[in-house]
Amino acid sequence: MTTNIDRRSFLANAAGALAGAVLLPRAAKSQGAPASPVALSRCTSYGAEVLPALRKMFDQIGGIGSLVKGKTVAIKANMTGDPDIRAGFIPIERMTFTHPDVLGATVHLLSLAGASRIRILESPWKSAEPLEEYMILAGWEPNDFIRASTGAKVEFENTNFLGRGKQYHRFTVPKGGHLFPAYDLNHSYYDCDVFVSIGKMKEHATAGITLAIKNCFGNIPCTIYGDGAPQDEPGLVPRGGRNPIHAGNRQPPKSSPPEKDPASPRDAGYRIPRCIADIVAMRPVDLAIIDGIESMNNGENSGRPENYVKPHLLVAGRNVVCVDAVGAAAMGFDPMADRGHAPFERADSTLRLAEELGVGTRDLKRIEVAGAKIREVAFDFRMSRPNADGTPGGWPDRGAGQRGGRAPGQSAPGRGQGRG
């Protein structure tokens, strides 16, 4: 396999804090985890440019016909936060949500490839309202996704509760899991043949980054893993957010498996990455897509217009860890980094934890990158953060000629890896 990035700068940044005795076992796990090609593309805008870009990328990873033909495909969109949040006059899908153009193009291409049914999933925070209503609140038209299909039946489901199912399905985590040995999820994650995660390329205050893996945190229902869940059995509707996963302040109802070690750290930076790694190990992602055309940096849902950035990127592949590794590198981060190093200053690396469960490798040396070269299209999220006085700290709308001034992961002058 070949890669399109020089990792010497990555290793130089991490070597000072990690002893060789620690690196060796992790490197061995990376070598044993599966690798799969990843397509990387520059995409300058939403609209007409998205569909041909994704079509070419799917071809570059071997096509999707054999994966989806005649199958039921579930797509987990990233729609975290209130849909009416705005940063200035910037719509939420340009900063936080998966953009509807990326979702619609994916629906179209899955249908063209022969999918028989496509179910769009999300679990809006603390809500049991129909997903279609949630989309409308965001200014979207759900019928646009139905019209995007060339024949496949398109459905919508809010997976925050039992929904249209009669019972939850229990997924067991391979190798015993990190946080829980098993999780109970909405039926839609079980009765699909193919599962697609479309994440947004952005930084995250707790987990460091949000890509296709972090997007799956929304798979777990608040009726079981939320603040207001009953003690004995799942609630009928959500009564609170997923704070118990963040803080470990309570266990799920007795009807669901308790966490493995109630004495483990109650730190969100410890718990959230382990939960997400468990989720993608127990319900594998068959196709991962990252919307990095437009986004935000310096956290999530901060509501600050100066954090609006335009990386102009799309990433896609069959292995979610490989895809997120390339996505992280395209953001200017070292996918082999761990806690204490950007972007994981306050959290353990979800990439490493998923790799430990055998999901995939994060080692760029083992990942074949098709299409664009990482070093030529990388958008450094830390360089584009605003300065203390509110002025832009980088180039929020850089063109191709303004990229590649330094290798991803290399510290900028005056900016340390530990900046939070």
Please check the confidence at residue 325 and state whether its pLDDT lies above 80: yes
What are the structural domain ranges in the chain? 8-400
Taking residues 172-198, what's their average pLDDT? 98
Going from the C-alpha of 275 to that of each of 107, 219, 268, 320, 354, the distances in angstroms are 28, 11, 10, 15, 10
Q: What is the pTM of this model?
A: 0.86
Q: Which of 199-203, 228-232, 300-304, 335-339 has the lowest mean pLDDT?
A: 300-304
First to last CA, the chain: 34
pLDDT category at 53 given cuts 50, 70, 90 is very high
Structure token digits, residue 54: 């994704």
Tens digits of per-residue pLDDT, 121-165?
A: 999 877 899 999 999 999 999 999 999 999 999 999 999 999 999
Taking residues 70-75, what's their average pLDDT? 98
Which pLDDT score is estimated for 337? 98
Which pLDDT score is estimated for 405? 32
Structure token digits, residue 157: 């489901």
DSSP secondary structure code for residue 261 in this structure: -
Please check the confidence at residue 28 and state whether its pLDDT lies above 90: no
Beta strands in 258-402 (DSSP E): 287-292, 295-296, 308-309, 313-317, 369-371
CA 92 to chain centre: 17
**Mean pLDDT over the full length of the chain:** 86
Please check the confidence at residue 5 and state whether its pLDDT lies above 90: no
